[in-house]
Structure formats: structure tokens, C-alpha cells
Structure 1
């Protein structure tokens, strides 16, 4: 059983149809947050088509459950600039907004600064592993199958911090190669899911937002997430991940999380 070759089919004029590869683990009629985030990054990059500017931070706010079906993405420049610019993308179904993303783009110039990187290195890529998902989950889960997961520690079916190499083998939009920032967006929303500290049979983890701050675009096929979720007694949590590739540090991801009993 394989996932479709793309998360979205282009319909023209900013409209896209989702495929089963976008499926949420909890409701196959809804979408996981990763693919819509990646689609919004794509539209922001296309809106601000300047090779000297790149996405340095994006925040996706999930305003409602994201259904399967046909959506439209519109973009606008909120703050123009030659050195920094703010661009917004809105993903809608009919008249209802489901995702709003804002991204800061910063002017880049080769050899402008001395590199300094203090993030810990990623663990080595493990060999091929059996692809297992959350306990009791239908293995047909589309988003899960759209990515190859190789765990350095933890797993979907183990509570607590986790470190995983993820290789998306699904395009964001059919017929085109995704940028590496789009691929980071596609996997970053898994931060809270891979590191939930409480058993998912009894607890809900709902992240209404994700922020990814990027040092540089990822390189190569594999993206590494070293993730943990912290939970306060009042049911508010924070999930975070250090994102790396084989070369080193790429980005940080953070999510606020609502935690409640099922």
C-alpha cells in the first residue's frame, strides 16, 4: 500500500484538491497540519519570487479542522521591503479560513557573515525500520505513509521525547519538486505527535499553531526532528523540536498544545 505521489492536485487559480496523503491520524476526513503548512510555504515562496530573499520564519495558525477536498490559497505582502518582508497566505474552503500563515523573508548574501552554530549534532541515520504508527491506528493512514520514518529514539507508540529521521516521498503539489523549506514545513507539525508524554488512548493533544524559525534550507532527502513536549498541570503544553539534516542544524519548531482527557 503506497501513498499518492502528491499531497495536492493543482486546479488552477490558487485552487488545490487534497489527496489521501494528507490524512490526519485522528480523522481521515481531515488533514494533518503538515501538508497545508507546506502548501502555504509554497505559495509564499511563489508570491515573493526573489532569489535573494528566503523564508527565515513562518507561523501557521490552524483556525479550524482542515477538511479534505478543494481549497484555495491566497497571498499578500503585509510588509514589503528589500532586506526584510512579511508575507501572508490564507487557505480557505469556500468562505471559511482554515489556515493563516505569516512568513518573514530576509535578504541573503553569500559570505556576508561568519557562521556560528551551537546546536548539538543529529544522531546517525538508522537502517530501514518497520513503519509503525500510533497504537490501534489503521495502517492506511495517508500522511504517515507519505513519509519514511527512522527512529533514533522513541516512536509513535512510545510516550515521551523522540528523535526521528523523516524522508518525505510525496510531492507537495503534483508535477513539481518541492523546495527543502516546504519539506521542513511538511514534517515540522509532527513535533507534538512524535513526542507526546501521555498515552494517546486517554489524552488529546491539539496544537492550534506552529512556528518554525530557519537558519538555512535543509539539504538532502532526510530531515531530523529531536522533539519533546512539556505539559503543565492546567492542560497547556509546549512542544518543541530541533530540526537538522546530515550537515547540521536547520531550524527550531515550537507549538502551543491543548491537552485534555478524551
Structure 2
């Protein structure tokens, strides 16, 4: 099946290609993953919804020959002068140094990206990630696409438990104060709430310069998906 992370990455790529502009910053990307799809060619169509002086909104629809499989919405905000003064609440920089050696690959699931576990998968998840494959042909990954690919990992990181992953995400919303400055992205589970088979989870996203944003997911109860 087509991985949800690929659909989010493709949506981000097309939205950036058609709607990016110097001085406008991608501040939010919401990806709705409402239909599984086999490995088929994917078409992405984007639409400009709002083009104001300080805010731009654009949508994307992802389809295969079987119909619409996902959709996305992006909000771009105009950069401006940062307000001075101290903040009442500031997310601290991660205390975990970037990895200095290649990741260790075990006998179980092997992701299609480099992954360094900082804490065990079934604990309060913390990991470093780095893409090692292009998304489309030999195109270099942009920072925004890199962040969109990494964001899908929020669901297994925030929703896992001892014995496996019992939730599958229906969407994810990535919010960014800035784009990642490095190819390494750190993801840190910072919240999970669930009841009646419905869950919401949250991660803080970092790069080697510090925190850069958050990702929130909603998820449905699902039979156990693997373990570590």
C-alpha cells in the first residue's frame, strides 16, 4: 500500500511548487488520509483558496485511477519582525545530541529512512530521522517536504504502547514556526489521549538548531501493527 508519509510528502511538494513565494512561510499543513491505496500512480491537483496580503491558503487533492485517496490544506503566513520581550511559555531545545554514527538496524521492521531511537519505541518515544531516498525521481528534498515526510511518524510515536501499535492515524497536522535547517529531524512524543477507540497524539519536532514546530494526529483503534 502507499504509505501515508508519501502522500503527505507529495502534497507538500505540489503545494510548494505551485504556491510558495519568497517572504511567505509554510506555517501549517493538514493531511487527511481517508483511503488506503495500492501502489498506483498518484495525481496531485492544487487550488489557491485565499491569497491575501499576509495569509495564503491552498488545498491539494491526491487521486489514483481508483479515485480520491487523500487531501491536504496549507497555510502560508507573511514573515515579519519578531516581537521583543520574554515569552511566558517556550518549548526548550532538545537535550539529545544528533547521532554521530549510522543507525543500527535490528531484525524487525526496517524503515525506508534512517532512524535513531533515543528512547524505546514503546516508551515516551524520541527519535532522530533522516530521509535517504528522493521522493520524486532525483529531485532534492526541500526542507518543507522533508518536514512533511517526517510528520507522519507522529502517529506511531505518540500512539504506541507495550506490545505494539493499536491505533492507525486518519490525518496529521504539521505546524511550523520555521523550516528545518538540517536533514536530521528529531521527533519527541509529548502527548496522547484516547477513549472509545479514538485517539489524539502530539509530537514536538526539532532539528539540530532547536525546536521548530509540532505535529498533531487523530487515530482510530486498529489491530496490533507489529512491534519494534
What TM-score, normalized by structure 2, do the two folds share?
0.87
Report whether the alignment pairs 1:132 with 2:96: no
Equivalent-residue separation in structure 1 for 2:152 and 2:34 (angstroms) = 15
Q: Which residue of 2 aligns with 1:12?
A: none
Aligned to 2:133: 170
For 1:132 and 1:86, how far apart are their aligned partners in 2?
42
| Matching of residue 181 in structure 1 with residue 144 in structure 2 | yes
CA distance in 2, matches of 1:75, 1:243: 26
| Matches of 1:68 and 1:260, distance apart in 2 | 22
In structure 1, the partner of 2:90 is 118
What is the root-mean-square deviation in Å for CA atoms of aligned residues?
Answer: 2.1
Deviation at residue 60 of structure 1 after TM alignment:
0.2
Give aligned pairs, total: 219
1:35-69 deviation line (CA, Å, top 9, x unaligned): 21011011111111311212100100012013212
Matches within 5 A, 1:220-239: 220-228=182-190, 230-239=192-201
Q: Structure 1 residues 42, 261: closer, same or farther in 2, change over 3 A?
A: closer
Q: Of the candidates 239, 245, 250, which is equivalent to residue 212 of structure 2? A: 250
Mapped to 1, the partners of 2:192 and 2:208 lie a distance apart of 27
Superposed displacement of residue 167, structure 1 = 0.9
Whether the 8 Å CA contact 1:192–1:255 is kept in 2: the answer is yes
- Report the Cα distance in structure 2 between the residues aligned to 1:124 and 1:131, rounded to whole angstroms: 20
Matches within 5 A, 1:142-157: 144-145=111-112, 147-155=113-121
Distance in 1 (CA, whole Å) between partners of 2:60 and 2:207 is 27
Q: Which residue of 1 aligns with 2:163?
A: 199
The question of 1:64 aligning with 2:35 is answered yes
Task: Say if 1:56 and 1:213, in contact at 8 Å, map to a contact too.
Answer: yes
Q: 1:126 to 1:95 in 2, by over 3 A?
A: closer
What's the offset of the Cα at 1:198? 4.3
Contact 1:192 1:229 in 2 (8 A): no
Q: Deviations over 1:213-236 (max 9, x none)?
A: 101000112000001562534111
Aligned to 1:207, what secondary structure does the other structure show?
strand
* Inter-CA distance 261–95: structure 2 relative to 1 (3 Å threshold): closer
Structure 1 residues 70 and 260: alpha-carbon distance in aligned structure 2, compared to 1, 3 A threshold: closer
State the Cα deviation string for residues 173-205 of structure 1 (Å, max 9, x = none).
2222121111011011111213402422xx632
How far apart are 1:254 and its partner, in Å?
A: 0.5
Distance 1:126 1:224 in 2: 10
When the two structures are superposed, what TM-score results if normalisation uses the length of structure 1?
Answer: 0.77
Structure 1, unaligned runs of 5 or more:
1-29
Query: Structure 2 regions of 5+ residues with no counterpart?
Result: none
